[in-house]
Every structure is written in C-alpha cells, then in structure tokens.
Amino acid sequence: MASLSVPSAPGINTPSTGTQRTRGTSAMDFKSATTGVAAKAMRNELNRMVAEVKDPLQKKVFDAEMQSFFSLFNRYLVEKAKHETIQWDKIRPLAPALVPNYSDLPEVTNDKSILDKVVVLKLNGGLGTTMGLSGAPKSAIEVRDGMTFLDLSVRQIEHLNEVNKVNVPFILMNSFNTDDETQRIIQKYANHNIQILTFNQSRFPRVGKESNLPIPRTATSSKSEWYPPGHGDIFDALSNSGLLDKLIEAGKEYMFVSNVDNLGADVDLKILKHLVDSQAEFIMELTDKTKADVKGGTLIDYEGQVRLLEIAQVPSEHVEDFKSIRKFQYFNTNSVYIHLPALKRVMESEGLELEIIVNNKVADDGTPVIQLETAIGAAIKHFKNAHGINVPRSRFLPVKACSDLLLITSDLYSLEHGKLVMNQKRMFSSVPVVKLGDTFKKLGNFKKRFRTIPNILELDHLTVSGDVWFGRGVTLRGTVIIVANEGSRIDLPDGSILENKLVSGNVSIIDH
C-alpha cells in the first residue's frame, strides 16, 4: 500500500527532526505545528482503515479515495492555519469578450464530425431527500408525463443519436448513495439506441469538527459516516475509474457535463462548435441573474485569471456586493464543456487544486462534523482559453424543490424529444416566481394538494402558505398570494380563476 504522507510546512520542526522547539513561538508557528499533528493523526487513521481491507481490488479503490481525501484534508488544514481569504479589491467582472452571448454564436447545421467526439455526462449523485424521497436517487422522480429525469435525459440523447446518425455515449456519475438503485433502473434502457456508462464519485469520511479525525472507524462503517465530496470530485473519480483514458482511446474529445435535474441542459451544437473554433479547453454556461439567483456562483477576473467565485468564499462585509446584479450580471448554471485531452494533461502535470467548500453538518448522534467539498466549475482556472457563455434561461431549468416542479409540470411547457420547450402563448420570456410553503415541501403532499396542476400561462408571482388545497382546472394570473392562517384551511374550488388576488385565512378574496 502506498503510505499517505504529510507535506512538511516550511520552518516547522517536527519531533522526528530531533530539534528542540523554543518558547515564545508566534501564533502562526503554533497553528502550523497543530496542523502537522492533525495531519499526521488523520494519516495514521486512514492508513489503518486501508490496511484492514482484505480484497485487493477493493483495497486499491479505497486507497485511491483516501489518498485524494487526505490531499484535500491537508490542504484544508494549511489554508485554515494561514487564514487566507480572497482579496475583494482584486476581483473584477469578466470582460465581455470572455462571456459571449449565445445569440451571437453562428447557427450550425448538424455536424457529425463534432458529435462523433462528444460524450454527455450527468451528475447523478444526489438523493431526493429535500423533496421527501429518502433513499431514492433524485433522477428517479417523475417530473413530466410519467417520465423521470433519467427517462428525459435518455430520450434527449436517443433523439440526438437518431437524427445525426451518431453514437454519443451517456455517462452517469453516481454516488454510493445512488449507484445500486440507478443500476437497477437503467436496465430498462437495454433495448434503446443509447450506450450508458456509469462510474462512482469518491466516498470520503466525515470529519469530527473538534477532533479533526474521521468519523468512520472502518471502510465498511455506516453510510451515514461518509459523504460524496461534491461534483468537483468528477476529475479524480473519472481518472481513478480508468474511464477518462478509455474515452480518449475511443476518440472522444469533448465532454458536456450538467446536473441531472436541469431539464434545459441538452447537447447544443452552437456551443460545441464555438468550443472547437475558439480552442477553449473549458466553457461554462452562465445565465442572467434574477433576484432569485443572487446567491449563485459567478465567473470573475482575479488577477487576470478566470475564476469561479462562490458565495461561501466571499468575506461577510462584501456579500451584498456579491449579490449585486449590476456588478455580477451572470451566475453559474453548472453546465460545462471540457476538452478531455486537456483534462488528462492538466491532471498529469500540474494537477487540479479546487477551492475547498467546508460544509458543516451534524451527525446522527449529534456530533458536529465537517464535509470538505469542491465544485466542478472551480477547475476553470486550470484550462487554456477558458471562458463563459451567456445562455438563455431556457437552458437552465433545475428542479430543486416542489415549487420548481409546479412550473415544469404546468402548461408553461411542453415536451419535445425529452426537452422542455416554453409555450409560445406565454407573453413573457421570464418564468413566474413560485414560492410554496412547507405544506407543499414533500412530493407526496404536493401531489395530494393539487388535484390537477393549475393553469399558469399568465402568472407572474405565486406565494402559497399554510393548509391550502387546489381543485381541478384552477387558473392563476398576475400576482396571487394565498395564505391560510394557523388553524385555517383554504380549498380552491374546481375551475377557480384568481387574477391579482390575495386569499386570506377566512377565504375572503380581495383585489391585490
């Protein structure tokens, strides 16, 4: 087994050197020494867990994961000791040339020569827990016409292959939480015109916030003691699985990556052609911010380098600046295009050092823990000619909550070959703002409370709070606010039409 090692910090004497530590060391020296001790303790725990794995193949996989985790953990300790933060006065919005508008890209007819080199990857590591589906992959949620996220993605790729006479592979990056169920589900696509490949992102140990030690004691400890370390892990996982090399050997050069719950993210030839023509090794789709997106990450110019800036990296005194739509016009949709040979070059030469996102959690027994995660977009700084593209909102249709589900199951959209298309009768290009209260949070409650999905073609804003039930064929227009006070219940009769109305707990309807 390759032993994990702790990089020595400059100027720090460890006990093994035989040098006696002098009194009166600075706070930085103390932090650095503490960092070395914590790293060594973590290294020993990880080595012990790896050594206890008996199966050679499982041991190799687990060892690679722990090597990746230890590298991330050690970097976290070093950065924490230095207390380095981003310098706000060095941040600049990207020059317009680095965020061309999608509408300005030249139209492209079917280009088989490019599509033959393309693979599509969906990030499929998340569960549907926030929508009340414990244990099931989010991609298994039915979202439209009885079809799941996976069904729609498969239909999109299948249509692409049929129309262009190509064989674009469809790849799923699963997590240890979603892999078993996903493998069972994808069996139903065996007779479809699509090649489906899967691999798993890494499994990292949760870390005790106070102890700085792994929560799991063995490689087979409970699932709840491990976590998938964010979509930035895609690079290590793709490489460790051997899939990156296999794709390149098969002549694949371009990979389109997006979240499995983004129903607007499909293969776009205009963007692919731009990727090739501009010789960009990495492109990120951005879209215009609205008030609902002010917390979303954005691309910036940082000392002449294109970087992803997430709200977690922003000093507290500048959070409002970060949210400003005037200063930062776009936000990251998490749909990216990557040149695979460039990815292999970067990983083999300089490696990828992605900004660490510290996610504070509480374990089942109440122990405060941390999860060290990374984001895929943070890799943009490592690639040549990397930039963003400002795409229309139609390419960003995520389903994060039941409020989003109301929109995509409504008459606002129709389905075309697995892709959602905005109803041409909608007078505005913007999507209504929908805020459903806690009683609609779980998918089961959402389905019960809407006998049918309301007609919202002319809706601008909807807020619903409390014990509210919708009958069949309800129409909502303009701004509609429905609030059932505690102990009250509101039932909207079949065929109700609400236009610019406030409905309160006593079911009185007044103009709004």
Q: d(Cα 211, Cα 217) in Å, to the nearest integer?
A: 14
Question: In the structure encoding, which two tokens stand for residue 229, read together?
Answer: 């370390």
Nearest Cα residue to 364 out of 221, 200, 204: 221
Instruction: Write a three-state SS string for 307-376.
Output: EEECHHHCCHHHHHHHHCCCCCCEEEEEEEEEEHHHHHHHHHCCCCCCCCEEEEEECCCCCEEEEEECCH
Are 283 and 336 spatial neighbours (Cβ–Cβ below 8 Å)?
yes
Q: d(Cα 318, Cα 233) in Å, to the nearest integer?
A: 28
400 carries an active-site annotation: yes
Are 370 and 361 spatial neighbours (Cβ–Cβ below 8 Å)?
yes
Are 159 and 147 spatial neighbours (Cβ–Cβ below 8 Å)?
no
| Secondary structure of residue 257 in the 3-state scheme | strand
Residues in Cβ contact with 287 at an 8 Å cutoff, skipping those fewer than 6 apart: 330, 331, 333, 390, 391, 392, 393, 395, 396
Candidate list 80, 270, 400, 442, residue with the active-site label: 400
What stretches of 224-318 show up as alpha helix (H) in DSSP? 234-240, 243-249, 269-277
Polymer length of the chain: 512
Active-site residues: which are they? 400
